[in-house]
Structure 1
């Protein structure tokens, strides 16, 4: 679950949905019925539920892309149900699947769209575009003038988030924003969102059909039934350990204990330093490090200090004066906001037995190794075991009390043994 700093006041605004209902013309059955829900300022709330349950409709009513049939919407102290919907949408950031960027506009023009519409000065807009690109980890000099077709799917989604945040709205709505990208890119985009929220403290409402994604990014999760009826609205940990009913249990699925790996971040488990060298270092100095006997492996960084190759002592014989064929390329990295599950998957698919941890622009920070991860997994499983034992003891105590009460009732006045003659 994302963390927020206790010293920073939220820049988001609370959202209150009061008996919110949507009935489409020609239908007698509501698509959304009497939703009553509050999102705290600076909180990330995820709507998750089966297809067709109304989660996207509920989200779109918040910025009135879909007009509610009845009910109220309050953002902060303002009832926004009856104000100009266009003006409302300029105050609420919105990010969707496949980014929704305008293909005929450059990256800078896409990000500048809302600030320009609300009348920001040109100099302020220019500075804001650069600030937003830097915030989402894209080099302004490199991406400013590109068009969406010149970007990867992950880069487009980053620009989409930058555009949604450009006018500094207190509320950000996200409708399955990472659903159209590959799993590895999706993991990195989730980490990026967690990092951004750690810095910005916006109020985020996020729709997904992926419960693992909900666990990873949500402060609280609203599990929705048909017509957006709320089956359970609670923290990820509470839903994992105490689902409200069989419907929620079905969403949690098997392996709830392992799903808790999505609740712990890499930054919480001990990132350590590791022996490194860069491609600009003299070959002889790199070889000396490996020959010294103190280390039998090092991490080679590229010219931007990003992880490039794992070099082992045995690779020296294949170097032949160059590092081109020596070493094993780094296949996976994680950020400090990645989950233990992300890190464990990366370590298990990399022969090095560890994974490099990187910063916003991919720069090396440290490593997390298999031993550290497995120790944390063991601690988590032990906690689960102790909680299960405690729960069983409570059930046993309750059963013993009921049995004693039943026996006392049978033997007391009016019972078979204590009745009147």
Structure 2
């Protein structure tokens, strides 16, 4: 499928990847036989090339139906779909689907195929040769943070839920599509794994600049991932289509306010990333270091605590000076396990939650393979919270002043008219 030649149809991709393509939905409607009202009614939406757009709304509002009409897993009853300026409404739907990445909840991997075979599926269908396909599988596994040598020969049942979802994303991106559709892809994993998968998607999008349309019922997830959010009513009627910050600070009506919920200032922590604040170094040792070196460091008085890294330099446990009494010939019984880590692409809200659940008062920051980079502490995060709260108070005061001035003008005009 061509992604169009219009100047605004494509985004600039990095690392030789195909760029994202613009998407236009024009009067898109789905009416199932025997039902009085359409499931999706006359949707108009313009999605920019390289943009992540989130569809969020109550269950049954038609958001997944709208998504599936883009690659025609569900055929529209009427309306047009343009991708990169090209009308794809009447093209061969199988050809269309092979040119659009698609990731779903629970990954949708074929259980009888290895990881490598799952990822290679679409490249082989579109005619890539064996060598190019093999290299692409290796590249995709590395891209989603899985060691090709360790994972290429495994079967889905041998993977954790989070690993399966990473492979699902790798498969969706394998043939280098300009568009990636994602239907609640992280809904079936635990909250910590979900946070890390969201961070991984943010990192991938920063590198690849695909056009992503993502369905979720979780407004916090929408804020975290989206360049723009479409809040949908019944039949996919658009209540508001705007940036996360605009929706948080100025919801269009009570329906949208209900999705925003309480604590808008704290939700705005989802708009800032760990990379936006200071990540500092912290004393570290490794599980391979001689015990005497660890003892000397903790007894030197320069630090009361060190972060123990495993043999892959991943955060393992916190070791404090008063833990030394438990150390005999190994570190096995001493120290407190690291409960959570965050990446540079994690939101400040994720980081704050991780810090508050860890007795150390800080959270390790890690790279794409979980390797230690630095730490973010509670003081840094609380300063960010206070700045957001103060900004909200300033906005509220300015809004109140504008209302007062408007009311005063109205009163003056009424008096002049008497």
Which aligned pairs between 1:63-82 and structure 2 lie closer than 5 A? 63-82=71-90
SS of equivalent to 1:172: strand
SS of residue in 2 equivalent to 1:173: strand
1:263-278 superposed matches below 5 A = 263-278=271-286
SS of corresponding position for 2:374:
strand
Residue aligned with 2:294, SS: helix
Measured after TM superposition, the shift of residue 203 of structure 1 is: 0.1
What is residue 417 of structure 1 aligned with on the other side? none
Specify which of 35, 41, 49 is matched with residue 49 of structure 2: 41
Distance 1:245 1:10, change over 3 A: farther
Q: TM-score normalised to the size of structure 1? A: 0.95
Counterpart Cα distance in 1 of 2:102 and 2:35: 28
1:89 matched to 2:97? The reply is: yes
- Distance in 2, Cα, partners of 1:320 & 1:184: 33
Q: Give 1:321 shift.
A: 3.0
- Cross-structure match for 1:365: 373
| Shift in Å, 1:10 | 8.1
Gaps of at least 5 residues in structure 2 are 1-10
Summarize deviations over 1:71-111 as a string: whole Å, max 9, x none.
10000021000100000000000000110111111110000
CA distance in 2, matches of 1:180, 1:324: 33
- Deviation at 1:247? 0.5
In the alignment, what sits opposite 1:199? 207
Could you tell me how far apart the structure 2 residues matched to 1:264 and 1:76 are? 30
> What residue ranges of structure 1 are gaps of 5+ in the alignment?
411-421
1:160 deviates by: 0.4
Structure 2 residue 159 is matched with structure 1 residue 151 = yes
Task: Pick closer, same or farther for the CA change 1:192–1:385 going to 2, 3 Å.
Answer: same
C-alpha separation between the residues in 2 aligned to 1:89 and 1:251? 32
Alignment match, 1:169:
177
How far residue 285 of structure 1 moved from its aligned partner, in angstroms, is 1.0
2:131 maps to 1:123: yes
Please state if 1:54 is matched with 2:62: yes
Give CA-to-partner distance per residue, 1:103-148, whole Å, 9 cap, x none.
1111100000000001101000000001000111111111101111
Corresponding residue number in structure 2 for 1:246: 254
**What is the aligned partner in structure 1 of residue 24 from structure 2?**
16
Aligned to 1:418: none
2:4 corresponds in structure 1 to none
Shift of residue 380, structure 1, vs aligned partner: 0.8
From 211, 215, 237, the equivalent of 2:219 is 211
Is the CA contact 2:112–2:155 (under 8 Å) kept in the aligned structure 1? yes
C-alpha distance in structure 2 between counterparts of 1:246 and 1:345, whole Å = 28
Q: How far off its partner does 1:254 sit?
A: 1.2
Q: Partner of 1:383: helix, strand, or coil?
A: helix
1:397 and 2:401 are equivalent in the alignment: no
Per-residue CA deviation, residues 267-291 of structure 1 (Å, 9 max, x unaligned), is 1111111111111111111111111
The Cα of 1:28 is off from its aligned counterpart by 2.9
Match of residue 233, structure 1, among 222, 225, 241 = 241
How far off its partner does 1:7 sit?
9.5
Q: Hey, what's the Cα distance between the residues in 1 that align with 2:85 and 2:253?
A: 34
Q: Does 1:283 align with 2:296?
A: no
Asked if the contact 1:10–1:41 (Cα under 8 Å) also holds between the matched residues in 2, the reply is no
Q: Residue 182 in 1 paired to residue 190 in 2? A: yes
Give the equivalent residue in structure 1 for 2:5.
none
Instruction: Go from structure 1 to structure 2 and tell me whether the alpha carbon gap of 1:400 and 1:10 turns closer, same or farther (over 3 Å shift).
Output: farther
Q: Please state how far the C-alpha of 1:294 moved relative to its aligned partner.
A: 1.0
Shift of 1:258: 1.1
Shift of 1:296: 1.1
Q: Which runs of 4+ in 1 moved over 4 A?
A: 5-10
Query: Does residue 406 of structure 1 match 2:414?
Result: yes
Distance 2:387 2:126 in 1: 52
3-state secondary structure, aligned to 2:101: strand
Is 2:353 the partner of 1:345? yes
Cα distance in 2, alignment partners of residues 262 and 6 from structure 1: 26
Change (3 A) 1:7 1:83: closer
Cα RMSD between the aligned structures? 1.3
Q: Is the 8 A contact 2:12 2:19 kept in 1?
A: no
- 1:190, 1:388 → 2: CA distance? 32
Paired residues of 1:10 and 1:42 also in contact (CA < 8 A): no
What is the Cα deviation at residue 314 of structure 1?
A: 1.1
Aligned mate of 1:323, from 323, 331, 335:
331
Q: Distance in 1 between matches of 2:111 and 2:280?
A: 43
Please give the alpha-carbon distance, in whole angstroms, between the structure 1 residues aligned to 2:249 and 2:154: 46
